[in-house]
Amino acid sequence: MIIRLSETDSTNAQLRRMLADTPDLPHGTAVAADFQTAGRGQRGASWESRRGENLMFSILLRPTQIAAARSFTLSQLVALATVEALDGYVPDLRIKWPNDIYYRDRKLAGTLIENDIRGAELSASIAGIGINVNQTDFSAALPNPVSLAQIVNAPLDRDSLLENLVSRIADATARHTPGDDDAVAARYRSRLYRNEGFHPYYDVRAQETILAAMVRVEPTGTLVLRTTAGDERAYTLKELKYLP
């Protein structure tokens, strides 16, 4: 079920209000809006989007076989379903750790996942996804945005894209079992942005610029890099910045 709104504060917040009113809201329920007045991204950032030009939606997920301690598996599944759906429209897409979607060196989509935990299990998750679809003029304050329309030089049908994405994400998370974890991690690793060679980063903890290569992503979601000096460093989301 997809609920389409002309405007809301944020689709994540709207879906959470619906969940509070209807606790048994089914897996795969999605809310999409033409405009958000308070859209959010990772690190507490806002999400900027022109009215009616892009996709902003949130989907309710009830991952029955993903333990809370392995919640990063859900993030991997959502990122993979998103990038694989978008593969049908444009080439050269990658997942920028942990779950942004990049076209070459430019950001096409972002995801914010909020998990509800009951005991050792995930009881419900809300994945909010923003995708630049038909917007072609972006604020100069945004560092590296790109849209599908800019890549293919033509507008796209947002409704069919939305239905494709919601279906893929709901299906991928519903049929996942613990035995699939290693295969999902391998697929995720193969699609990562900068998964080969040395690249520049800013280490927030050490307050220094480093040149490093990706080593692995832990089951917890921690990213491990190896510097040119040979030492391995582990990072969580707010501890590392990608540099051009």
Please, what sign has the CA dihedral across residues 83, 84, 89, 90? Answer: positive
Please, what sign has the CA dihedral across residues 239, 131, 116, 123? Answer: negative
Q: What is the pLDDT of residue 69?
A: 87
Share of the chain above pLDDT 90, in %: 83
Q: Report the CATH number of the 198-242 domain.
A: 2.30.30
Q: What span, in angstroms and rounded, lies between the C-alpha atoms of 143 and 199?
A: 18
Q: What span, in angstroms and rounded, lies between the C-alpha atoms of 62 and 117?
A: 11
Q: What is the pLDDT of residue 118?
A: 85
Determine phi and psi for 185, rounding to 5 degrees: -60, -40
pLDDT mean by block of 10 residues, the chain; 244 residues: 94 95 96 87 57 94 89 97 96 97 96 90 93 91 92 96 97 94 96 98 97 97 97 96 95
Q: What is the pLDDT of residue 51?
A: 85
Q: What is the pLDDT of residue 43?
A: 46
Q: What is the pLDDT of residue 140?
A: 81
Q: What is the pLDDT of residue 42?
A: 47
Q: What span, in angstroms and rounded, lies between the C-alpha atoms of 228 and 212?
A: 6
User: Strand order of the sheet with strand 55-61?
Assistant: 2-5, 30-33, 55-61, 121-131, 106-118, 100-103, 93-96
Q: Helix count (H) and strand count (E) of the chain?
A: 5, 12
- The residues spanned by each domain of the chain are 2-190, 198-242
For residue 21, the one-letter residue type is D
Q: Which CATH number fits domain 2-190: 3.30.930.10, 2.40.160.20, 3.30.43.10, 3.40.605.10?
A: 3.30.930.10
Q: What span, in angstroms and rounded, lies between the C-alpha atoms of 139 and 179?
A: 44
Residue whose pair of structure tokens reads 């902003």 in the numeric block: 56
Closest-CA residue to 60 (of 3, 126, 14, 122): 126
Q: What is the pLDDT of residue 122?
A: 87
